[in-house]
A = this chain, B = another copy of it.
Amino acid sequence: MSLLPRLKLPCLAWMRDYDRDTLAGDLVAAAIVTIMLIPQSLAYALLAGVPAEMGLYATMLPLVTYALLGTSRTLSVGPVAVISLMTATAVGDVVATTGADYISATIALALLSGLILMAMGLLRFGFLVNFLSHPVVAGFITASAIIIALGQFRHLLGVDAQGDTVLELGASLGAAVADTNNVTLALGLLALGMLLLARRLQPLLQAWGLGPRMADLLCKASPVLVVFLTTALAWRFSLQDSGVALVGAVPRGLPVLRIPALDPLLWRELADSALLIAIIGYVESVSVGKTLAAKRRQRIDADQELIGLGAANVTSALSGGIPVTGGFSRSVVNYDAGAVTPAASLFAAGGMALAALLLTPLLYFLPKATLAAVIIVAVVGLVDFSHLRRAWGYSRGDFAAIATTLVLTLVAGVEVGVLCGVFASLALHLYETSRPHMAVVGEVPGTEHFRNVERHQVITHRGIVSLRVDESLYFANASYIEDAIYTLVSRDPCLRHVVLMCPAVNAIDLSALEVLEEVNERLQEAGISLHLSEVKGPVMDCLNKTDFLKRLSGEVFLSQHQAIASLSCSQPAQSRTLISAF
């Protein structure tokens, strides 16, 4: 039942109450997003290594599909930098090994990752993405941004250079730098300079008397203005004759829907990359979607998001586009510009359709160096080493996860980097829970509280040792805890009672239960009783299903205080000792 496809249309909810105020907000947001999307969609197609129109095609049907099926009200779906980089890497590899057609492989990749996302949504496998930790994502995004920016230098210099890692790119660029085309470089630096300047222009424009809204709009439109300016320069001075690479002929009009070629061999080669792109795209998208939804007390449905994003990728493939996801910067712009409902995305899709119908002839003279500048400016903001510093101060494990992902992504490529990052973060987590914090505890004088004997001056009783385990008991730490108990026992020949204090034990698995049974038996043979205290309800429910509690040589106490009160009475009267160390 729960496995059956759930055909939900989240759009029905917002369409019902749609009114004129909402329309105004959505229209303004759509206009601004469209202006951002035009250069970005072309640039990210270039980054993915495919003709510019494939970027445009990925901004129409996918936006409509997500608007109807997605649960975020303000997410802006379309081509994004990191996914385009991953696409270029994956398709490049497959083309090199199988000789497949580059464009067909890109479309197949979009289709495949869309189908994977939809399948994950229908099977409710969305929880899988939880295993991609923040440190891994942070390290991955920073490293990807560096690779992307470095990769664009070839367009700025007007040279040939290839590579999936910083090492390859660095070597390739170093070898090619002598062939730099100076006109291209000048044009690229001009575009880069204007884009960087525009980011700092807003206060200046406001100082000149423009309204803050107008100033903001002008800054957001700066990439379009730079595109127009450099295109005009290239056209006016016939810069292609000076060796400046241009976008060239872009087919005019809307995409034609076409079922992509179903090539099983190609699919098998692309499957791993498609899964990775699906997961990374989903994580990026859902994190921004959640943030924006929470601001308005709205909710994101993770499984429905998978279906929405998956369908967006499938329709991108059907219309000949590249893989898409919810982009961070455009979604924030969409939200800030006043988008209230996904209708804003419907209007933006309409805007992009108009652009494809009217503006494509103008794109012939658009220099690739301009698009490279647009990409560099877009990704430079993603490079963020503060995560590294922060993780270093917080925990070595998190730092190791970021550093592993960052370094391996840079030197071994995006796929190796993210996979090793996930593996490292899981391994570190398991390692830490396999050596849990444990403390021998004693009673804080005059209270019913029990604290670590190493940290506090507490009362302990001869013949009784109380051990608090700060972790669930499971196979990976069971023998570590067993060792700790046997060590305590072997140190004190007078020992009569061991109390295991369990307020932080959230579960006991079968391996740990067997170890406890073994410990109980061994201690009993040595004349020592094993007791439990402060066992949680769900854990007690589990233990009650077995005969462990019947065979337990000691008792189960509701509180540690009761345990000590009861056991210290039953002991022959002995002086209380104040000990200060384990």
Contact = CB atoms under 8 A, between A and B. Distances in A.
Interface stretch (A114-122, A262-270, A431-439): A431-439
Contacts of A426: 426, 430
A290 B479 CA distance: 10
A134 interface: yes
Interface string A272-305: 0000000000000000001100110111001000
A475 B134 contact: yes
Interface stretch (A85-93, A334-342, A538-546): A538-546
A507 B398 CA distance: 12
Contact of A295 (B127, B490, B522, B538): B522
A437 B295 contact: no
A500 to B, nearest CB: 15
A538 B506 contact: no
B133 A475 contact: yes
Contact of A506 (B291, B391, B476, B504): B504
Contacts of A478: 130, 134
A518 B291 contact: yes
A434 B489 contact: no
Nearest to A431: B127
A51 to B, nearest CB: 38
A526 interface: yes
Interface in A361-380: none
A49 interface: no
A18 interface: no
A280 to B, nearest CB: 15
B476 A510 contact: no
B487 A127 contact: no
A347 to B, nearest CB: 27
A130 B398 contact: no
Contact of A131 (B390, B434, B472): B434
A426 to B, nearest CB: 7
A404 interface: no
A515 B455 CA distance: 30
Contacts of A477: 130
A394 interface: yes
A514 interface: yes
A251 interface: no
A474 B429 contact: yes
A133 B511 CA distance: 6
A397 interface: yes
A427 to B, nearest CB: 9
Chain A interface residue bracket vs B: 35 or more
A525 interface: yes
A109 to B, nearest CB: 27
Given A295-B522, A425-B475, A471-B506, A395 B130 contact: no
Contacts of A291: 518, 522
Contacts of A537: 452, 455
Contacts of A8: none
Contacts of A436: 506
Interface in A478-523: 478-480, 482-483, 486-487, 489-490, 503-504, 506-507, 509-511, 513-515, 518-519, 522
Given A435-B127, A506-B471, A511 B394 contact: no
A130 B490 contact: no
A272 B282 CA distance: 35
Nearest to A479: B130
Contact of A297 (B435, B503, B526): B526
Interface centre among A294, A393, A437, by most chain B C-beta atoms within 10 angstroms, is A294
Given A127-B434, A134-B514, 17 more contacts: A130-B480, A131-B475, A131-B476, A133-B475, A134-B478, A134-B511, A134-B515, A297-B490, A390-B546, A429-B430, A429-B476, A432-B507, A437-B506, A437-B538, A470-B536, A471-B506, A504-B504
24 contacts: A127-B434, A130-B479, A130-B480, A131-B430, A133-B474, A134-B511, A135-B511, A291-B518, A294-B518, A294-B522, A295-B522, A297-B490, A298-B490, A299-B490, A302-B483, A394-B510, A395-B510, A395-B542, A397-B509, A426-B430, A429-B476, A455-B537, A470-B536, A471-B506
